[in-house]
Structure 1
Amino acid sequence: MRAGELRAVDVVAASLARIERAEPVLCAFVEVWAEKALRWAAGVDERVAAGVRLPLAGVPIGVKGRNGSRTASARALVAAGCVPVGATSVPGPGAPWQTWGLGADGRTVNPWRPDRTPGGSSAGSAAAVAAGLVPLATGTDGAGSVRIPAAWCGVVGLKTTNGRLPSADRTGLAAAGVLARHASDAAAYWRCVSEAGAVGGHHGVVEGGEVGGAASAGKEPESASAASQLSPPFTAVWSPDLGFADTDPEPASIAHAAALRRADTGLVRLVRPDAPARLEDPGPAWLALRAAPDTDPAAVRDAHELRAENDRRLAALFAEVDLVLTPTTPNAPHGHDGPGDRYSTALTWAFNLSGHPAMSIPAGFDSDGCPVGLHLVARHGEESLLLRVAAGR
């Protein structure tokens, strides 16, 4: 589109046509902004014709939830030339678990297995990207809400370092993220939000409230240039369970095979560090902090103590390795009746507490034909390292 070979209007119209065909079954959008998107695309074409450089001119995107276009990430993507085509689905009101979505036409389904959930809470964003309705969609990740749907829909999902991008989450547990079909597209997202000046070491809540995540914990995110100075092989430790999770054998085996393939290319080197990849179960701490200030004060104190202990263990581990690799989820996508007593967040929410950037990349498919994700975790501020490994370079 920047070269004038395509028009943004035509690209966005094609995206809207795909959405119209798929939505009766997929239900990935709660709102579709067809007329507004076409007007927006026409404006992009006019700016390109006038010589304005827009790095993502005319790229159709989904934004998570009805208020998704107000986020700093969405504004940065729009400034780069992206065209929001609609608001993607999130869980409906009163949901006891956050691994599904409710679109305008019904429950969001997994594009690979309609009888299974796409994950959540960035459900519609992952489903829309996986189904090819848009190449990119925004998300937020408070316990795995980008990475879990990325894993179960077979796409790339990046959770940024907590506190690096503005967030409306007062607990500091949620971080901005993106769902994309390719690692290069996730990298394009990261370049846009970085160049827009949205990234910083002490960003927190955008509309009042307390700064949360890594910044509030006194963790200064390391500069992106520090990660770019590293060169392969990147040292990595594999853990199927982080020392506590009840991980099913099949997703563990598929994710481990994906880690070994990365090692076979020379991109990563799997090592056995002196500091083991073993954490305390973060579940009780996450639940207590999420419910604060209504949580019992003793439970909050226990949560902070557990969080501090895991932070110490992770600091020792990242002093020896560049990456921690796990399955993204301990289980396969469940049906629409819910996960039962399983926490699909078991391997992801530890890094919402610690603030580390993390990413899910496709690892393969299980015996039911459902996608499995490989989970990559890096030091604070090293999104660029995750993106390099995800891209295989």
Structure 2
Amino acid sequence: MFPVTSRRHFSFSLYMLRSSSPHNHVLYSSSSFLPSFASSRSSATKDYRKSSSPPMAACIDTCRTGKPQISSRDSTRSHDDESGFRYLNYYRTGYPDRVSRAPINVTQTKTLHTRPLVEDLDRDAEIDDVWEKIREEAKSDIQREPIVSGYYHASIVSQRSLEAALANTLSVKLSNLNLPSNTLFDLFNGVLEEHPEIVESVKQDLIAVKERDPACISYVHCFLHFKGFLACQAHRIAHELWTQDRKILALLIQNRVSEAFAVDFHPGAKIGTGILLDHATAIVIGETAVVGNNVSILHNVTLGGTGKQCGDRHPKIGDGVLIGAGTCILGNITIGEGAKIGAGSVVLKDVPPRTTAVGNPARLLGGKDNPKKHDKDPGLTMDQTSHISEWSDYVI
């Protein structure tokens, strides 16, 4: 048994709880439950009740089912508020067995931005074939190589759309200590969602790489690992910001792409669709350059100017052009549709459509007056050597 003092204190606490609760009829079925001494409490206790703070806002009572519930003094409280109130009263931060909290690394910047896996069939029906193919390939790769499951899940499987996946991949690869990936993700994802035409160009670039580059084993391989593809998509975002006169952000992206991928596209340059940048290292494209559709460019190619003049000063590349490795095309000149520029060439003058220019300085195969022409787009065929036997006496 409790000492007398303890029993009185306990009984008095029960009485105070009963009198302050709007549900005292649940806690106590009759007043006979109270001890007899409660009716003879001193006047000092009465004064204490009059001067004390308002009754408790809520208490734990027992419903007819016998399960504890949270009852609120405010009968107008909404259901959501009651749910939140109930959660806050039962949640205990001091109990690690109920909630485990991982330590937060405040220095971490390369965050993989994951989104819930989309399982809704109606939503899947809206996803284009390329994105669906990427996801299927990612899941297949995870089965073959479980070690990549975390990387592939964060980069592809958990992403809700092609836009989100691309924004995530670019933000992770272009972030640094002073430029967090979550900031870049919000920027990239916002531009991609507002401009579906950019996303369509992304899809066409993926198809172009898969069809023309024999080293590309899958769409997901290109999407995650081909820096030429990634640099081109980052440029598309930067170019859109440039056209919106957000030049500071556009130039910032250009700088990070140059540092991360060794590819330098001025954000003012105009790039078409179906672009293949094979290997891509050391490709430089100037501010006023224009590149058409279905163009293939190999590594170490420069589309530059010839000096420090301002204005329109960079090359214009037509549709279906193939530019070989190590080529320099300088000045405000035009490379005609379907032309081919041999590796290591230096081009300073216009090249007619569907002709081949090779050498340093470059000259047309077949001569200036009657150049040989081809009927296929070399940007699609990737044929880089068929002209040699007719042009050169080089032998081994």
TM range (shorter): under 0.3
> TM-score, normalised on structure 2?
0.26
Give the number of the structure whose residues are more often strand, by fraction: 1
Q: Taking CA–CA contacts closer than 8 Å with sequence separation of 6 or more, which of the two structures ends up with the larger relative contact order?
A: 1
Relative to its length, the structure with more helix (as a share) is: 2
- Structure number with greater Rg is 2
